[in-house]
Structures are given as C-alpha cells and as structure tokens.
Chains A and B, each alone.
Chain A
Amino acid sequence: MPRTARDVVFVDGVRTPFGKAGPKGIYHETRADDLVVKCIRELLRRNPALDPAAVDDVAVAATTQIGDQGLTIGRTAGILAGLPPTVPGYSIDRMCAGAMTAVTTTAASTAFGAYDIALAGGVEHMGRHPMGEAVDPNPRFVSEKLVDESALFMGMTAENLHDRFPHLTKARADEYAVHSQEKAAKAYANGRIQADLVPISVRRTNAEAGETGWGLATRDEPMRPGTTLANLASLKTPFRAHGRVTAGNAAGLNDGATASLIAAEDVARAAGLPVKMRLVSFAFAGVEPEVMGVGPIPSTEKALAKAGLGIADIGLFEINEAFAVQVLAFLDHFGLPDDDPRVNQYGGAIAFGHPLASSGVRLMTQLARQFEEQPQVRYGITTMCVGFGMGGTVIWENPHFEGAGK
C-alpha cells in the first residue's frame, strides 16, 4: 500500500519546576509518577481542543525504571492522569535522552501513520532513584576492556573530555557556567520559563529542610543567580583530584518531569491545536563511552545531513548542559564561539537542573518559546549527550518563520 510520510509537529510542552535531589529537595516526599501525571494533566488542560481519547499512545522515559518509575510508567501515568483506559502507554529508556527519544519515537510512528497524536515525556527523580541504582554492568566491559571504568561515571567522562581537548580549560567551562546562570535569571525575569511550568504541590514533614506542611513548587530549585567566577573557582572537583569538573560547571542531581504533545500536522491543524515546531529530522549517534560528551557532534552532523542542511542554517540551539565542557566541545567543533547568542538563550541545565530522562522535552519547550519570539529564525536544534557514549539531535523548523532578513 502506498504511503506518504506526514509532517509531524510539536504541539505543546510543559514541565515541572526542577528540584534538587536529596532529603532537602522540594520533591523529596513527592512520587516520580505524580510529577509526570501532573504534566500530562496540564497539557490536556492547556489544550482543550484535544480529545483525550484521541491520544494514540503515551511514551514516558525514565532511566531507572524501578518503583514509582517502573511498572511501565507510560501506561500507569496515563491511567493516573485520567486518560481513558483505551489509550495505551509504554516506557522508554535512553538515559539522558529518554524524553527526546520518546518524542522522536512517537514522532516517527506518527510520520509513518501509526499515530495521529501522542504524548511524550520523561521523568527522573534522582533523589528517590540515584544514578546507578541497582545497575549490574556485565563484567566483560572491564575484563575485555570494552570500556574504561570511567565510562560509567558521567563526571569522569567529562574530565576525560577536558583531557581530549586541553584547550577547553576549566576557566572556559566556569565562564560558560556563569553565563548560563545569568541567561537563566534573565529568562525568568522576562517570564520566558514560567509559562511552561506546571506548579506542583509538595509536602514536607522534615523540619530540617524548611517549613513543613504542603507547599507549592513554582520555580526551579537548583538555580543560582548571581554566581561569579570567584564562587566557582573555590568548588571541589569531586571526580578527580585537581580536576576541572565541579558542581558549578555541571548540571546537578535533580528531580523533575516533562511532557509534550506530538501530532501529525494535518491532524493538529484540523483539531485546532497549536503548532509550535515542525520536525525536520533527527538522529542518534554513538561515540566512545569514555567521552560520551562529544555525542551531540556526530548526531548533529547526521541529522543535518539527513535534512540537507548545514550548521549555518541553524538559527537557534538548545543543547543540554550536562557539563559545560561538553557544550564547549560541541561549539568548538562547529566553530562557534563560547558565548554564541544563538545558543541556549534562556540558559541551560547548569542553571535549571537535569533530571536525566526528562530533559529532552525541556530543550524543546524552550526552543518553541524562542521560535515564537524570533520569526526570523527558520531552523533550530535540540541536542544532548547521553550516557554510555551517545548523542541525540532533533532539528526543528519554526512554523512562525516569516522569511529571513526580517
């Protein structure tokens, strides 16, 4: 039977404010599944034109699929969110690129014609599920030297990246990090972030962590506006003595969730749903696990090649800031300056936090807001590095594009 691939669009995306993992974090007493459930409900509320029964699938990513992130969270979250039982769901894992993969997978299914509309998102409660919880790496990785032991520890892979690119110094990484905090604070001041946040009720029973009782999370907890180079210079380098990677030039350990609505463009337009971005191409690529931070380079090259575009065609970049050095490596590779104004205009994960499998959709909601503000931009990318040596890139077209030169 003849097929026509359909255009796929990013209808809308939301996220919870991100929290700091751990006993004093805002979400310490909040379940991971509740975070993603509340995102799904907010998406449905914001888009009353969407008939919940018309959702063809719910893809939810989590890196550690245990406990409240287990039990096929895409399915359970759908039921808990009040979607009709006829709407199926599944779980996705590509570590940090989980939500990104949820989007590309449902988008691909939509382009193929299997879906009209899907929900895609991710969640990671790193407080309840620390990185590496219950992992059991095959001993052959080490015995056959398939990967270096450092490949399992993301901070060490970032140190490895500094080794590989000696000119990407700690000073440059810190400077980048300070700039990220500044941009994030400015985006907040301009109300660019809050519009896509889902307030989350949070309970606290431990008085050591602050006022007890029910509260409401309305802002990202990890942000450190006013961070200076001097502040960063004094931080420890936990992954290597006299190393370069610190808590200041990397994303922290965080809790949070995201969700987005992906649809065939014709379906979205017929239903009266908004169209915030149009999918152009996507690609994932593998690299040596010891330097997973370079992953976005080959994945971006691949995605550009598939789209027939060059890096010069990209007007806006949303690159996940797992580590400053990994962003610098990307910029360096493509010949872009460290402070390129097209890159992470609202700041990035160093300021907001990076709850692993949820972050992909955060990049997309921020790019979507930037598209809306900048109709002169035609293409943008969202890209991120992924544990065990991978990168993922999605290229998007701005539906508000009014032609260059404006």
Chain B
Amino acid sequence: MSSSTVELLKGAAERFPDEVVTQAHVRHLDLPGDAGRFALITLDNGFDHTKPTTFGPQSLAGLDAALDQVEKEAADGEITGVGVTGKPFIFAVGADLKGVEVLGHRDEALAIGRGGHEVFKRLADLAVPTFAYYNGAAMGGGVEIGLHCTYRTVSAAVPAFSLPEVFLGLVPGWGGCTLLPNLIGADRAVTVVIENSLNQNRQLKGKQVYDLGIADALFEGADFLEQSLAWTAAVLGGELEVVRPDIDRGEEWDAAIERGRAVADDKVHGAAPAAYRALDIMAAAKNGDLRQGFAAEDEALADLIMGGELRAGIYAFDLVQRRAKRPAGAPDKSLARPVTKVGVVGAGLMASQLALLFVRRLEVPVVLTDIDQERIDKGVAWVHEQIDMLLLKGRVNQDAANRLKALVTGSLDKAAAFADADFVIEAVFEELSLKQRIFAELEEVVPPTAILATNTSSLSVTEMAAGLAHPERVVGFHFFNPVAILPLLEIVRAGATDDASLATAFAVAKKLKKSAVLVKDAPAFVVNRILTRFMGEVLGAVDEGTPVEVADGALAPLGLPMSPIVLLDLVGPAVAHHVAGTLAAAFPDRFAQSENLGRVVEAGKRTLYVHDSGKPELDPEVAALFRTGDTVLTEEQVRDRALDAIAQEIRLMLDEGVVAEAQDIDLCLITGAGWPFHLGGITPYLDRAGVSERVTGRRFLAPGVASVPE
C-alpha cells in the first residue's frame, strides 16, 4: 500500500476502535497430485457464522500483511499459488458499514476506497496465480476480493452472493464496477450490480454465480474446498484449461448500460445517485483500463460516502435488519401465550388474505366465520385456491398443501368454532359499532385469555374494547395491503391492553414474519396518518387550483415508489376518503376531506387516473367532477407544502408518543409504504433538506445519525 493510504487507514482505524477485525490467516498445504506448495488465506473474524466476516480498516491492514508474506514466498518460488477462502458458511460480506458511518471527511472516505483497491489488487499482481474459493455468503467487498484473483470457484451451497452497494447507496467500489463487466460482460454485470440490488437486494445462489460466469467452477458443499484445491492442482499443473467466453465490447455494452439506466429510473427515478454513478463507471470500463476504473470507483465512493443518501441507506438497512427484529417497546417475549388456533371474523378478501397468512406461517387451525354460508364457502375456497397455486409454483409440496388446506375451515357458529381459539382477528367493515358488537359477541365464546385483535386502519382500538369484561386482551393488528408483500404490521396497544396480550401479539407477528412496530392507539396510527396528511396537502393544492399533473409530479424528485395520485388509486378513493374523514374529525386543524375526492367517491369512480395512453392521465370523467379554485402553485411550492406538513405531523406524533422514536416512523414508512432507503424512510431526508428545522425548529435525528458526522 502507498504510505499515504496506510496513514489514512490508520486514521480510519482510530475512528473505529470497535471494528470486529477479520484476520487473514495464512496456512500452507501440499496440493493433491504433487502440484506443489500452496498458501491458503482464510478470512475469519473469530466468530461463528452469525457474525459474518467484514472488512474494516484494521482488517484491510491485516490482509495486506498476509499478502506481504505470500508475495515474498511467491517471488522466492516457495509456493505455486495463493488461495482465499472464508470461515464455515461465510466467505466475506464486504465493508463494515459501521466503519463507513463514522467517516466524517472526504479524504478518509477516499482512503477506504483506495485502501481496498491497493490491498485487493495485490492478488492480481502476485508472481503466482491466485484463486478465490467462494465457500459461503459473499457480498460487496467479499465478492470483489475474489474478482481480483486469477480464478474463482463457488460452492453450490452458497445461499447469498451479491453486490448490494447500490441498494445501500454506494457503488461496488473495490473493483466491482470495473472488473465484473470485464469478466462476464456488461449486461450480466448490470443484472448483478443494478437490477438485483434495486430489487430488494436480490441474492444469487452458488449455481447462478457459476452460470453467470463469475466463477470458473462449481462444486457441491460437502467437499467444496477439497474439490476446489484438486481443481487448483489441475489448473496449475496444466491438466485443465480455464476457458471463458469472449465478451462483447461493442454495441451490446452500451445497450446494457442503457438497460441499467432504465432499471434505475424505474426504481429510484433519478432521486438517488448510486446506481447512476455505478453505471457511469461500468460504461467507462468498456475500454478495459482497470487503473482508470479503480480511480473512478475511489472518487465515486468518496462522494457517496460523504452524501446523505448513503447515510440514510445505511440507517434504513439497520432499521430493517435490526430494529425490525427487536421492536422498540415490545414486552418480554417470555410473557407470550401459545397460539394453537386462530379465528378470523369475516370472510371477505382481507379476511381471506389474513387466513392464508396465518395458516402458512403458524400452521395451526384457522376458522373463518361470516354472516352466511355462501360468503364463508367463498372465503375458504379462495384460501384453498391460493394454496393450490403455491403447490403449482413448487412453494409447498403436496403433503404441506394437504396439511394447510385441512387447517382452513369455515363455520357459521362462532361459539363452536372459537371455543378453543387463542387468537381471533376481525376484518369486517370499518364501523366502530359493528366491531364493538363483534368483540362483545366473541367475548362470550372464546377462552378467557384469547387475544381479540382488530385489523382496523383508523378506528380507536380503545373504544372498540370499551364495555368488554376483559379489555386487556384487545390489540390492534394493522396489516398493509397487499398483506403477502408489505412487511409492516402496526401493533396497537389500546388503553387497557396488558403485557401478556401484547407479548402474544408480537410473538404472532414474528411467526408471521412481519416487521412489527408498537404504536399507540392514535387515529390512523403511523403510516396512514402520514400518508393521509401528505395526500391531503397534494389534494388541497389541486382543490385550490393547481393542475393535477403539477401537484402529482411535485414529489417526483424524492423518488417515492409511486406518485400520490397513483397511490390514491391503489388504496382506492373511497378508503382514502374514509380515513381522511376519521383524521379530519380527530385533527380538524390539519386534516380535511377533499370535496373533489368526495365527489369522485360519490360518483362511484374507482380511480382518478386512466391508463389508456400507456401512462397515467386524469380520467376526463373525474376531471369533469372537479371544482377548483384559482390558486396555482408550482411543483416546488406543492413539494414544500407537503414536506412541511409531514415534518409537522411526525413531530406531533413523536410528541404524542405514537411511537417510541423517529426510527419507528421511518421503519413504518419503509416497510409499510415502500419509501426508499435513500430517504431513510423520511426523517433523515427532512433533516438533511432542512425541512425539520424550518418547520419544527429541530432535527429528528442527532447529527451523525443517518447523516455525515460533523
């Protein structure tokens, strides 16, 4: 390494004293078939697979020292090759993000990029061939260290292999952007670097790594390292020639980059820089000039590390990886009661979706009830059809399908069906008196400790429990549509809810594989309250006279998954209007029902937009219903208005104690509304855009949390 990089890495190491250091163990072995003495480097942080191996500044320095040793041995002719592999189940999962978070200066960020390059590329410059043996999970820098080697093998047992940098807000900057397209061609590289990253960080399995041409050989997990070393011996001995297909450096390369840009536009709408920076470097890598490519990677890494999008991305990643698994405020899980049978009141589409989810994840009897046999039969039939589809897709086998279908039944007789149920959830029409009546009826028939849960999206759970003999077992269990896709579950603690019931609710949520967030019983809870406030400002602007396309396009620079009106259409104007009504009643100073939306609902229109031309346009029939004022705002004005409103609402929610911290708001928006990582949910964005301070006089998060430390 150059001395300046050594110094900078030292500085980075001092800033990051808690680094879990990955050791690079050098061990020598005799290759099979008298193929010579071989140095094998094992990357190992000394923990088991639950703490994957990462690279921080000290780890890079350790690897550098190991390479000093093998470089000398190679030069002296003592070894015929060098290999790199990982501890059991883990190859290496890239840069230690905690080490990235502490970087406060661009030169430090630059040093991390250069340090990685300078160490890794030594593997390409040794006097002997080098081999990477991807034995287990490999991500980011873990993948990249192997790309610098002469050859690669991969285990068929590798469950996860990816370059997730773009997903987080970085570029594969330790060689990935430059080396990968030069190894497997630009189109496949775009799939790995851009497309997989932006599709919820999709992972490759071992065989795909081989099929893509990233690895030269694929071996089964049972004796992966032995076979890799035997293969190495054959390659070094000249018995085996590794042939890689030629890659197209002409139009195909350019077309691949264009495809990557289209994917990025579709996913982040130009709002986050990482994918575009990665594509720029990959485009330039066409000339095969590695030095130039690595320098561009260093610059991109430094820029991105010093940018808010990456900081928000790391913050968001931590929320979904850690906070979602240990929900803030959840009671001790030992208090949870077992759930061995579930009841669902209602057999409509939502109820049926819930029944399907419960039976798949809990694998206990689930009974649907409704007011007539026909609805029940329809609900049960729907669930059975879905299970058959899972069978057809190979997601469950025949035995499991038989089991699941047998577990789902329907009954008109709640008393018989729910007498031994531990958890009953209602998913009937959003009307308080109806839900109160159902809970009262249920209380007569269920066991005394059974949980009574409601999937209400905006009604008061406390009021729903009022009048019950045992209100302590009532919880809100608010799912997001589509239930099978959106991970969020808002768990509502009502006025009388006790810890055991709440703990049971969280235990059920965990089994359902949902990200549960504890929320107070406040109108519309978290996601619907924020979305409704935000939508209210956009519709308000329209009502006052701003053209729909201007108001609806105003938020585009944020890169939200869809525009406000498209979201409104997805939710349905009637539901949105109903929730707005609830919130307007609770907070008349900040929420209002749009009269125009009321007219749309009244006219029975299901959507505001039509898609006849291939892109969304206001339905002329809807346009005809609109009566608007003459105040025309610009996109920027609408955006400010909406963001200011969100900031105000979140501050109020935190002050009211709707959730424990701003982190929970962000987690809800990411997992319940699909708001992007580069916004960190929303509060990191509101902080970095200055909205929080302008509107509320303070930030949501301390400086350095989801932002560059000062």
Contact = CB atoms under 8 A, between A and B. Distances in A.
A216 B30 contact: yes
Given A38-B223, A41-B223, A218-B29, A212 B42 contact: yes
Interface string A207-222: 0000111111011000
Interface in A30-45: 37-38, 41-42
Given A201-B229, A213-B40, A218 B222 contact: no
A200 B226 contact: yes
Interface of A: 37-38, 41-42, 80-82, 198-201, 203-205, 211-216, 218-219
B88 A203 contact: yes
B27 A213 contact: yes
B223 A213 contact: no
B545 interface: no
18 contacts: A38-B226, A199-B230, A201-B223, A201-B225, A201-B229, A203-B42, A205-B46, A212-B23, A212-B44, A213-B25, A213-B26, A213-B41, A213-B44, A214-B225, A215-B27, A215-B28, A216-B40, A218-B29
Interface of B: 23, 25-32, 40-42, 44, 46, 85, 87-88, 220, 222-223, 225-226, 229-230
B44 to A, nearest CB: 7
B40 A214 contact: yes
Contacts of A218: 29-30, 32
Closest 7 pairs between A and B when the two form their complex, measured CB to CB: A213-B25, A213-B42, A201-B225, A211-B27, A213-B27, A216-B29, A212-B25
Contacts of B32: 199, 216, 218
Contacts of B222: 37-38, 41, 80-82
Contacts of B40: 213-216
A37 B220 CA distance: 13
A82 B220 contact: yes
Given A41-B222, A219-B30, 10 more contacts: A81-B222, A203-B42, A204-B27, A211-B25, A213-B26, A213-B42, A216-B29, A216-B31, A218-B29, A218-B32
A360 to B, nearest CB: 23
Contacts of B46: 205
B88 A211 contact: no
A199 B225 CA distance: 10
A342 B312 CA distance: 77
B59 to A, nearest CB: 15
Nearest to B24: A213
A81 B223 CA distance: 9
A214 B40 CA distance: 7
Nearest to A34: B222
Contacts of B26: 211, 213
A39 to B, nearest CB: 10
Nearest to B29: A216
Contact of B229 (A37, A41, A199, A212): A199
B65 to A, nearest CB: 14
Given A199-B32, A205-B44, A214 B226 contact: no
Contacts of A203: 42, 87-88
A201 B85 CA distance: 12
A87 B614 CA distance: 57
Most buried by A among B41, B87, B223, B230: B223
Contacts of B42: 203, 212-214
Contacts of B87: 203
A79 to B, nearest CB: 10
Contacts of A41: 222-223
A204 B44 CA distance: 11
Contacts of B223: 37-38, 41-42, 201
Most buried by B among A38, A201, A211, A219: A201
Most buried by B among A41, A80, A81, A213: A213
Contacts of B88: 203
Nearest to A218: B30
Nearest to A200: B226
A19 to B, nearest CB: 14
Contacts of B44: 205, 212-213
A211 B28 contact: yes
B220 A212 contact: no
Contacts of B28: 211, 215
A42 B30 CA distance: 19
A374 B95 CA distance: 60
Contacts of A215: 27-29, 40
A213 to B, nearest CB: 3
Nearest to B32: A199
A216 B226 contact: yes
B475 to A, nearest CB: 43
B27 A214 contact: yes
Contacts of A205: 44, 46
A81 B504 CA distance: 42
Most buried by A among B30, B46, B220: B30
B121 to A, nearest CB: 22
B27 A212 contact: yes
Nearest to B40: A214
A36 B41 CA distance: 26
A201 B38 CA distance: 13
A42 B222 CA distance: 11
Contacts of A204: 27
Contacts of A42: 223
B226 A201 contact: yes
A358 to B, nearest CB: 18
A21 B57 CA distance: 38
Contacts of A214: 27, 40, 42, 85, 225
Contacts of B30: 216, 218-219
A45 to B, nearest CB: 9
A41 B223 CA distance: 8
A256 to B, nearest CB: 15
A198 B223 CA distance: 10
Nearest to A198: B226
B680 to A, nearest CB: 39
A296 to B, nearest CB: 34
A295 to B, nearest CB: 36
Contacts of B85: 214
Contacts of A219: 30
A200 B30 CA distance: 12
Nearest to B85: A214
Nearest to B44: A213
A198 B227 CA distance: 11
A80 B157 CA distance: 13
Nearest to B30: A218
A157 B26 CA distance: 44
B229 A216 contact: yes
Nearest to B230: A199
A37 B224 CA distance: 12
